[in-house]
Chain A
């Protein structure tokens, strides 16, 4: 009972791992570019959780600051990514990334 009631670092790490895994799964397997972007957001959030958790239990400000920057960059990333997806859609009339493989050979 102790280990459940006393919320510790491992709880947060576990959640972040799950989020990361889900995000990874989405990125790996979903065909819809937008869903992939969502997966990316999940991964970033998982990272943020880790940063903050570590900075809380080490009593430093670094994790806090970096997570702040991560959020900012995530915003930028989302904007650019969306724009790209829209361009892809304009070009290929689809957002299915499996059909967008002109890089092949």
Chain B
């Protein structure tokens, strides 16, 4: 029988799809191009999701809560060598799912709402909402699905919807390129993920998370552990693609070609979140090596994109790279084993990053699609609401205490420190170091951005005119006639006076999201997210990787036969108390340590059955306050640096840039990744394809035609032999007979006398003969 929550979640899943179907077919026939359909559907979906959230999080408040349901999607019958084989699809709802469900629907709803203002008047207005619908649908699918196969399907669908939305202004070539780039880059990541799925399937002939975890825990993974690590890393590759981790991060900044609400959706709620969420899902099967790899990737990504963000001029690009950087944080967090912290950051980041993007959208909207921060400034007075919300979100991103961002980021950094400590220090400290460095830079570039945009005087008039026009030309298709202002005002020096605060449909989402960036929403203690409900309800699950599985085979043997829904419970049972205790400060640490020793002693107990995880947890909490102090220091440093540079002008950014030009260019050109890929992969495959085509037409087909030609030649020779020799002989006979006949015919004069002469000659001939005879 189906749990009522499952039924609700199915409705939640299908509503956005319904809105897509309705809008894609009927948007022209509906009034207002049917935007109310999209908003209404999402509103309903959000209401239902909220109900699910309520009944799961608030009512149950059980870390181990989980309901699952699945159905047989494919039935392979009785497969030789395997036995009865089915592919099941299903839905699982646990705390994380419920939270994500609410978060995604909320942000999607807000983006819908916001778009009614931002996109108003666009000629494909209706289709835009349709795309938002399918985007939300596929993201919800990822959140809800309980097996690798369906998550892969929705994964690709997310790719499709991002393709559609990034290329929404497809008439602009840059947009068309960006959408293609995004899809292909994601595809590259996806094949990695797909291979990972294949590795797991080839062992267990199932896609379901629980069955796979169960089998691995039971040590049924017959390949070497290297394969398991490979599976983990390959699955992580999907995340690398979707969450724009290094080296596949290149698509995300280009994705800014899409309308700003889309950026908000992609960056905050749907696409990039999917990657981290997925890694969270498969966290338990990641081997230690895979985790190290993931942590490194995350750290590098965080650092690299932070350095890039410093020098960008486009307001959205700065935010884009900050997103990449934050995603790097989350991935790093997962890598270092700070599971809860990473997912917590995913949640908090979703809200304030959505707020930032919508805010920047408001600014761009108000500035008539001016995106270059160099020509902004002084908007503080014109757009107070935007200013307020934007700054709150900025501070959350920078990680100021009392904001949500502070708690989550701090937890991750603490985890990083603990990780380094656990792994025995040394080289492992590279990861926390990179983390803190990017924290510093984050504070700096966000401060820079806020300052350039909102403070100082308007610099609109500084903008070179023709570039201005180009800009307008480039955005010519963009939402026109929607804004109340006349375009001439866009050109003048008096731009800021023409700039007004956006309407309430665009203001409301900003406010809501800003409020959701305050610490109190998540935790009573502004300094410790660990006290919050999230960390409690989404504890770090116990790993099932074989190396550590030996320790508690008994435990698994105990519930090996339980239905799949129950399979992973046991470790989760273990986790919560653990988390709660651990988070209660110093004395708890000792307790944990003690229990950990005990755990090591008696094989399996209430705490982590995996020694390493227990140790990590211990170290993390040991380093909690260190992390706080350090990150706060970084924050202060970064912000003050920004102030020094852009307010007091103590350091001239231009001069600095000149001084360190190579570094500046390196950062400004995004470490030249696009150029590198363009030179290697794209050029390479183009060359390869050209050569393949050449090979095909000239070599293979040439060979075929060559054979044909040779054959024809031979046939021709044969034919001519036949014609001139064989046939020639026959013809010659005929010719001979004919000519000789013609000669003979001359004799046949028809004159009797001639004949008589002949006779006479014959007689004379006889005479001659006779005489010769006589001579002898």
Chain A interface residues (CB < 8 Å from chain B): 24, 27-29, 97-98, 101-105
Contact = CB atoms under 8 A, between A and B. Distances in A.
Contacts of B748: 104-105
B757 interface: yes
A103 B755 CA distance: 12
A24 B609 CA distance: 148
A103 B749 CA distance: 8
B750 A102 contact: yes
Q: Is the interface of B mostly helix, strand, loop or mixed?
A: helix
15 contacts: A27-B753, A28-B753, A28-B756, A28-B760, A29-B753, A97-B751, A98-B753, A101-B749, A102-B750, A103-B750, A104-B749, A104-B750, A104-B751, A105-B748, A105-B750
A91 to B, nearest CB: 15
Contacts of B745: 105
A103 B752 CA distance: 9
Contacts of B750: 101-105
A105 B745 CA distance: 7
Contacts of B749: 101, 104
Q: Is the interface of A mostly helix, strand, loop or mixed?
A: helix
A98 B756 CA distance: 13
Contacts of A97: 751-753
Top 6 closest A-B pairs, CB basis? A104-B750, A101-B750, A103-B750, A101-B751, A28-B753, A104-B749
A98 B749 CA distance: 10
Interface in B208-227: none
A97 B750 CA distance: 10
B762 to A, nearest CB: 14
Contact of B760 (A24, A102, A104, A105): A24
Interface in B733-766: 745, 748-753, 756-757, 760
Given A28-B756, A101-B749, 12 more contacts: A24-B760, A27-B753, A27-B756, A28-B757, A97-B752, A98-B751, A98-B753, A101-B750, A101-B751, A102-B750, A104-B749, A105-B748
A98 B753 CA distance: 8
A21 to B, nearest CB: 11
A104 B747 CA distance: 9
A77 to B, nearest CB: 15
A101 B751 CA distance: 6
A73 B770 CA distance: 32
B750 to A, nearest CB: 3
A22 B775 CA distance: 29
Nearest to B752: A97
Q: Which of A24, A29, A98 has the largest count of B CB atoms less than 10 A from its CB?
A: A98
Contacts of B757: 28
B411 to A, nearest CB: 125
A26 B757 CA distance: 12
Contacts of A27: 753, 756
Contacts of A104: 748-751
B305 to A, nearest CB: 110
A104 B753 CA distance: 13
Nearest to A98: B751
Contacts of B752: 97
Nearest to A31: B753
Contacts of A103: 750
B67 to A, nearest CB: 117
Interface in B493-509: none
A27 B756 CA distance: 8
A53 to B, nearest CB: 21
A46 to B, nearest CB: 15
A39 to B, nearest CB: 10
B614 to A, nearest CB: 127
Nearest to B745: A105
B608 to A, nearest CB: 125
Contacts of B751: 97-98, 101, 104
Nearest to B750: A104
A24 B759 CA distance: 12
Contacts of A29: 753
Contacts of A98: 751, 753
Nearest to A36: B753
A28 B757 CA distance: 7
Contacts of A28: 753, 756-757, 760
A74 B757 CA distance: 22
A29 B750 CA distance: 15
B640 to A, nearest CB: 131
Nearest to A103: B750
A102 B749 CA distance: 9
A97 B756 CA distance: 13
A55 to B, nearest CB: 25
